[in-house]
Amino acid sequence: MHGAPSVSYPVGRSRNADLLVLIIWIFGVGSSVFVSIRFEAFGWRQASLTLGVALASALAWRDFSRRAAPAELSFDGQHWSLSGSTVLRAAAAHVALDLQSLLLVRVIESGRTQRWIWLDRHAKPERWRDLRRAVYSRAPSAGSAAGSGRAASASGHHPLS
């Protein structure tokens, strides 16, 4: 492969991501209720555990949802950039969770800030495959040039290994 295509993709709130977080939240609260009932009588300690889990996860979801402002994630063939309230330039993108039609990606600006974003196939289906190729591609290193690819081929080593 010569390299991943340049791509721009809309970023924002995802209904599928919200549904996934809700399911995880329900399992978390359900697990705390199950543990509380299973091992002891349901008392004030168990109630506070369940309430604490529910409240902490609801606050975390609210905070994450507020940060999910509409933006545009772009890849130029080497670096990622994220437009929006906080512009990230020359950033790297790392996939944390891949559910085929939904990606959780960590975008990191070198040595500075990072953002976690959900990328949903439904936001722009016609560019989804290009986005996936770009997210999983390795950016070319500064020392690699067209000649080094031929040298690697001549030596019997694959340039990406």
pLDDT tens profile 50-75? 788 788 878 877 777 776 678 889 99
The pLDDT value given to residue 78: 83
pLDDT at 119: 93
Q: What is the DSSP letter of 46?
A: H
- Average pLDDT (82-92) is 69
- Number of H helices and E strands in the chain, helices first, is 4, 6
Q: How does the average pLDDT of the chain come out, rounded?
A: 77
Q: What is the dihedral of CA 51, 56, 62, 65, to 10 degrees?
A: -130
Q: Which residues of 71-109 are buried (b: 16+ CB within 10 A; e: fewer)?
A: bebbbeeebbbbebeeebeebebeeeeeeeebbbbebeb
pTM assigned to the model: 0.67
Predicted local confidence at residue 97, as pLDDT: 92
